[in-house]
Amino acid sequence: MYQPPHFKETRLEVMHELIRAHPLGLVVSNGKDGPIANSLPFLLDEAGTGQGVLLAHFSRDNLQWRAIADDPQTPVLVVFQGPQSYVTPSWYETKRQTGKVVPTWNYAIVQARGKAEIVDDPEWLRRQITSLTATHEDGRETPWQLADAPDDFVRAQIKGIVGLRIEIADLEGKWKVSQNRPVADREGVAEGLDSSADTDMARLVRAYGGLADGRQ
């Protein structure tokens, strides 16, 4: 992706945290008629070395998995979209000084590339959906577990899905959060975002713009 140096994020732990916080990834792969894209909820496995492994599953009726299986040597792309916000020039001090400003969009995004493996194994799939469910049920007052459903029903559901495993070969992060603006403009953007109740982006603007104690 287009990467101006001041927007580039290279810290593995920061990119991993965005994936965990925004796990619905857009999977883009080649098909016989052109690119195919679908959104899937992913688990990030950080065990071992490297940049991590992404785990998900397709509906068996989703033909993207067959296209991936037919072209196993071609990497796939998974895009994870973090916080994103419109930025009005009205928040800039520069607008009041010169008027030479335009609107923009702030965002944080991670793109992962790697060769995909299709996994058609009921036990692997059971582990994957168990872990996925446990991750997102964690902290709920009465967390749902896979064991709450009848086992024959679960086995029937598993027959309708196939697994996806992607060992990440390349991970890129881009945090475009007003770092290229003068300090007064950054402060104005953070305050404007606060007034819009967009606290996630306001925090990023302050952290990456030197308005807080380091980048967080």
Query: Does an H or E element contain 157, and which?
Result: helix 151-158
Domain residue extents for the chain: 5-207
Residue 46 burial (10 A CB sphere; 0-12, 13-18, 19+): middle
Give whole-number Cα distances, 185 to 83, 95, 106, 206, 210, in Å. 19, 9, 13, 11, 12
Q: What is the pLDDT along the chain (216 residues), one digit of tens a residue?
A: 999 999 999 999 999 999 999 999 999 999 989 999 999 999 999 986 789 999 999 999 999 999 999 999 999 999 999 999 999 999 999 999 999 999 999 999 999 999 999 999 999 999 999 999 999 999 999 999 999 999 999 999 999 999 999 999 999 999 999 999 999 999 999 999 999 999 999 999 999 999 964 333
Q: Are 4 and 180 in contact (CB under 8 A)?
A: yes
Query: Does an H or E element contain 112, and which?
Result: strand 104-114
Instruction: Output the pLDDT for position 215.
Output: 38
> Angle formed by the axes of helices 183-195 and 199-208, to 10°?
160
Is 5-207 CATH 2.40.30.10?
Answer: no
Amino acid at 31: G
Cα–Cα distance between 68 and 64 in angstroms, integer?
Answer: 6
Instruction: Output the pLDDT for position 212.
Output: 66
